[in-house]
A and B are shown apart, each in its own frame.
Chain A
């Protein structure tokens, strides 16, 4: 694991010591090399974990998320080049340092072997993200957004700290290797109900669950592009990953404690998809679509069946790539038009046909077109919830239809029709932007050929 952590840490001196015209090239190239190293971890040979030390390990669950995280850093750097081009050199280097720091914490969080280490890194990821949102966002609402983001997650995760310390006192160790063998079923009492709530609320806020999702549209919309990318693609998955890890401790309680959250997720899935249809702001639409997809993951993790875990893992990886790509596309619009209102930039297909192709593919993967991994994830989750209760098929089916509706609405509004008069003089697509979209889409399409590596430990 050190062969990923140390190079990532050394990316920081690399940015500060590089010549001004080489900072982007250096950091992007080396972070791409680091991501190629992490791809070797995808070769999981058994359903047991691959343990590197007492602190770090990779599992079939954490390896895909680790690969996603490391793959995303070069993409974030490529996406940020334009909007930082007017800043001073020191500010550019500071921004890149924040991204690298965030990356470091995320890598360690996904490979942490101990729950308290995971918790510390989970909290630590908030700091660089807050700095990125509040310092480099574009509108005045970014301060409000940062506040909501920080305090929602902190308030949700403070009970988790207490619960983890209590559990460590009881069990002796929170190491993942030993947790599988030492956990006892929780007794059926009020205090264990509170323990269950304390453990899960942090991840529910992070996912986010429908009732606690208020921070997400604000944070995603106000963040700069790299912030949006890392938030949508990776930080939400921290919540899913944490939930999947911590349910091993929580015994037989989940079968009835999960009901309120299942209801919130099942109904919230439809509500947030419907809200997407009413959005005027493009980034807000993509943010609400993230909530909807993550609600599916929450449902899958709470019913705890083999197929649902496979679906949840696949959905997390697929949604990470898709959502990040949609934010990059929205950003390519924003950089030309300086407004996020969807109707201001219409008919782009006639002006930027290659970008329209990327828009089409991103929208198709967002609505879970076969044979992409988005569909595999969603299908597994739908089948698993059907076995949980037959009636969920009505809600799931409605959600799939509404997802298709808003994805196509987004595509048609931005791409089809006659272009607005003032977009005639926009700059054509840069190679950097096309490469960005291609690098997002390539893993997505390749994984459709071999999805078993993202199906998690149950496969």
Chain B
């Protein structure tokens, strides 16, 4: 009986044993695979020890997550250095919009003020201002 040829999809990736390249890897690659497997299994063992510990109350601390939140919240300014690029970006996106909106609103309001002074703006029904 012949089975259809295996095709991998997003949720069903090709198993390593069906990949012909798997059988020709060098000893260094094998060693690297073994090291990665050792790290992975050590981490998994630590996680399972924490997870099943009956005296654990609350979170399992993940140092990677702690580092990530620290980097995203409290460690931004110490790694900031004013360079020409950052100064330009800051001036452009920090002060630029303020001056832009000032210009927009000033011209709009001055135009409205001029119309009001000339008596041309129809404000007969405007009671909520």
Which A residues form the contact surface with B (CB < 8 A)? 141, 259-260, 262-264, 266-267, 280-281, 284, 305-307, 336-339, 341, 344, 383-384, 387-392, 395, 421-422, 425
Contact = CB atoms under 8 A, between A and B. Distances in A.
- What 4 pairs across the A-B complex have the smallest Cβ distances? A387-B129, A263-B98, A263-B102, A263-B101
Given A280-B68, A336-B58, A422-B58, 7 more contacts: A141-B74, A267-B97, A281-B69, A387-B128, A389-B105, A390-B108, A422-B51
B73 interface: yes
Interface string B53-72: 00001111000010011001
B128 A307 contact: yes
Contact of B72 (A280, A306, A389, A392): A280
B104 interface: yes
16 contacts: A141-B74, A262-B105, A263-B98, A263-B101, A267-B98, A280-B68, A306-B129, A336-B58, A338-B59, A339-B59, A390-B108, A391-B105, A391-B108, A395-B101, A422-B51, A425-B57
Given A306-B129, A307-B129, A383-B128, A266 B101 contact: yes
A383 B126 CA distance: 11
Contacts of A260: 98, 102
A327 B58 CA distance: 21
B112 A389 contact: yes
Interface residues of B, number: 24
A264 B98 contact: yes
Contacts of A305: 129
A422 B112 CA distance: 60
A341 B126 contact: no
A388 B73 CA distance: 37
A263 B100 CA distance: 9
B69 A280 contact: yes
A344 B59 contact: yes
Given A262-B105, A336-B58, A344-B59, A284 B73 contact: yes
A81 B105 CA distance: 50
Contact of B104 (A264, A307, A387, A391): A391
Contacts of A425: 57
Contacts of A344: 59, 65
B106 to A, nearest CB: 7
A422 B128 contact: no
Nearest to A426: B58
B40 interface: no
B109 interface: yes
A385 B88 CA distance: 32
A259 B105 contact: yes
Contacts of B60: 422
Contacts of A390: 108
A19 B18 CA distance: 75
Contacts of B129: 305-307, 384, 387
A421 B47 CA distance: 12
A65 to B, nearest CB: 24
A284 B59 CA distance: 20
Contacts of A307: 128-129
Given A281-B69, A338-B58, A422-B60, A389 B98 contact: no
Interface in B101-124: 101-102, 104-106, 108-109, 112
Contacts of A341: 65, 69
Nearest to B50: A422
Contact of B105 (A141, A263, A280, A306): A263
A257 to B, nearest CB: 13
Contacts of B73: 280-281, 284
Contacts of B108: 389-391
Contacts of A421: 51
A204 B67 CA distance: 35
B101 to A, nearest CB: 5
Nearest to A259: B102
B115 to A, nearest CB: 12
B49 to A, nearest CB: 14
A84 B56 CA distance: 22
Contacts of A266: 101
Contacts of A389: 105, 108-109, 112
Nearest to A340: B69
Nearest to B61: A339
B101 A267 contact: yes
Nearest to A344: B59
Contacts of A339: 59
Contacts of A391: 104-105, 108
A389 B106 CA distance: 9
